[in-house]
């Protein structure tokens, strides 16, 4: 499902998703002292976060952009050409089978993608490709955080269908089971969002989240109608619907 979904939306993905600069700034502050940075962005999609890494780190960064979807990578390469970014390569790759040499990378980035991976196999690959002391940055959200946003609170069945996200204790458990990796920091984010009801519904129709693919046609139509009714009950001004989105950043170190 994940590959077909991202194939369908590859040409419009950057327009559908919100890109947060705060976690990239956090990463920049923690690695800016490294003279030359060799890194990978696993599950890079169309490059919306990959570009931000170059905005902050410039030419000191060489980035392997890895994604299993070829159309996403084609969009990334076009985006990078338009922005004169050359210090990268892109490869079709599963997160569980990273086509890079052992013990080579200073850091790995993974933004809003880890819930699509087999976590144990992914962490094993991260251990393999990182240098000793190298860092993995995972930006994601928990199921609990997801349940508190504008979709989790008001869109029918959203929380039930979005079951692949990891809770905090689950993620900590899997990292703890991974030899030679240590979870050294957790950074929490909360963003204030604003939109109109029509723009929100348009996002759902454009499959803003892959989870909407799990609704059958009749179920989705009923849910859209109920979502509209729920928002109309809660908000007086349907042109300025406000809510909070929450995310978490895990920082994981290869200790030996």
**91-122, pLDDT tens digit by residue?**
999 999 999 999 999 999 999 999 999 999 99
Closest C-alpha to 189, from 250, 111, 249: 249
Integer Cα distance of 157 and 77 in angstroms: 36
For 5, the token pair is 């979904």
Set out the domains of the chain in order of their start, with CATH numbers: 2-149+163-193+245-254 (3.40.50.150)
**132-173, pLDDT tens digit by residue?**
999 999 999 999 999 999 999 999 999 999 889 999 999 999
Q: Residue 6's pLDDT is what?
A: 47
pTM: 0.92
Three-state secondary structure along 182-215? Answer: EEEEEEEEEEEEEECHHHHHHHHHCCCCHHHHHC
**212-241, pLDDT tens digit by residue?**
989 999 999 999 999 999 999 999 999 999
Residues of the chain by 3-state class (helix, strand, coil), percent to 5? 45, 25, 30
Integer Cα distance of 213 and 186 in angstroms: 31
Q: Residue 209's pLDDT is what?
A: 86
Q: Residue 16's pLDDT is what?
A: 53
**189-210, pLDDT tens digit by residue?**
999 999 999 999 999 998 888 8
**Quick check: 131 pLDDT over 60?**
yes
Which stretches of 40-154 are DSSP H helices?
48-57, 70-82, 119-129, 143-147, 150-154
């Amino acid at each position: 499902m994940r590959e077909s979904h991202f194939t369908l939306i590859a040409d419009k993905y950057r327009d559908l998703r919100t890109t947060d600069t705060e976690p990239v700034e956090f990463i920049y502050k923690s690695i800016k002292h490294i003279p030359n940075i060799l890194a990978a962005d696993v599950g890079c999609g169309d490059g919306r976060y990959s570009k931000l890494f170059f905005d902050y780190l410039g030419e000191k960064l060489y980035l392997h952009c890895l994604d299993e979807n070829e159309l996403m990578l084609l969009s990334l390469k076009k985006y990078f050409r338009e922005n004169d970014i050359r210090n990268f390569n892109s490869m079709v790759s599963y997160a569980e089978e990273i086509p890079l040499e052992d013990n080579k990378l200073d850091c790995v980035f993974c933004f809003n993608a880890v819930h699509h991976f087999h976590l144990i196999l992914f962490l094993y690959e991260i251990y393999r490709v990182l240098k000793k002391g190298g860092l993995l940055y995972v930006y994601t959200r928990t199921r609990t955080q997801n349940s508190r946003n504008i979709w989790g609170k008001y869109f029918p069945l959203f929380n039930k269908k979005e079951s692949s996200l990891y809770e905090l204790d689950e993620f900590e458990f899997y990292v703890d089971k991974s030899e030679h990796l240590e979870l050294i920091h957790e950074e929490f984010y909360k963003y204030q969002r604003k939109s109109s009801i029509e723009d929100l519904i348009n996002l759902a129709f454009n499959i803003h989240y892959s989870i909407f693919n799990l609704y059958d046609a009749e179920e989705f139509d009923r849910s859209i109608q109920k979502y509209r009714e729920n928002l109309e009950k809660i908000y007086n001004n349907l042109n300025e619907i406000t809510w909070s989105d929450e995310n978490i950043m895990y920082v994981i170190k290869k200790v030996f």
